[in-house]
Amino acid sequence: MVYQLIALDMDGTLLNSQFKITKGCQEAIKEASDLHKIVAISTGRSLTEMRPYFDDLKDVRYLILESGAVVYDLKEAQILYQKTFQPSDIYKIHQAYLKQDMMIHIFMNGYSYATKEHMYQMDKYQMGKYQETFVLNNSGIENIDEFLKIHLYEIEKINLYHQSPQLREESITFLKDLDVSKACVEVSSLELSPKGVHKGVGLVHLCEELQIPINQTIVVGDSHNDKDIMEIAGLAVAMNNAIEEIKAIADEVVADCDHDGVKEAIEKYLIKGAD
């Protein structure tokens, strides 16, 4: 199979353990682009959270953001696809938030927001390693109740950051009847997206936009929220640092994120048939 597009997860995949994109990965992306192959990003991050990496991603045009709720064209600076929650979903999620001390992270129109009081105590919610970049790239909310009321019809994704995996389970139980997409990520985080939305949905919409058959795509990932997109891609590639569930469904496994696994995937599977 000759593949036309590769979609790369960010954290634990394209980003190494220091949250950097290595020179080797940047060079592989450029080489693929020069051969008219498409390198896209597939991430749970918002557009604002991607901005620190734009200089390193000059050869990337398309972003699947917020776990598939948004597909964005960097060249044209426009949203190609967008999906939002039903108001009743927001109400139930807000109830879950009020039941315990947790941090809420809201995504809207490609941008992301969190309550100011929580942004500076992310260690408490098992997300301390992200605090520096989080504070720089997210907007603070003074009053979450008022914010949700004003933007009830605009919200694309919500992350709930808990103090422990056990407390996350309490939220999952409380939200068990809520018909939205749910993904457990990090130590104790819960990602919530509108019904039927996952990274795979974003990939389908991007392929439709570019008129690329889905079986001519490669996906590289490492965690729970990569499962759906890997299952529909033409070739599923897991990082060596991926969780076992992801390795089990992968067609191939490459080196870990600290040893240029993405570079290996691009060169071995995307560029391989381009000569």
User: How confident is residue 131, by pLDDT bands cut at 50, 70 and 90?
Assistant: very high
Residues 197 and 270: their CA atoms lie apart, in Å, by 26
Is there a contact between 134 and 127 (Cβ–Cβ < 8 Å)?
Answer: yes
Who's near 222: CB < 8 A, 6+ residues apart?
9, 11, 12, 13, 238, 239, 241, 242, 243, 246, 257
Is there a contact between 141 and 169 (Cβ–Cβ < 8 Å)?
Answer: no
pTM score of the predicted model: 0.87
Lowest mean pLDDT among 151-155, 182-186, 215-219: 182-186
The C-alpha angle 53, 233, 255, rounded to 5 degrees, equals: 55
Q: Determine the pLDDT at residue 275.
A: 47
**pLDDT tens readout for residues 16-28:** 999 999 999 999 9
**pLDDT tens readout for residues 136-183:** 999 999 999 999 999 999 999 999 999 999 999 999 999 999 999 998
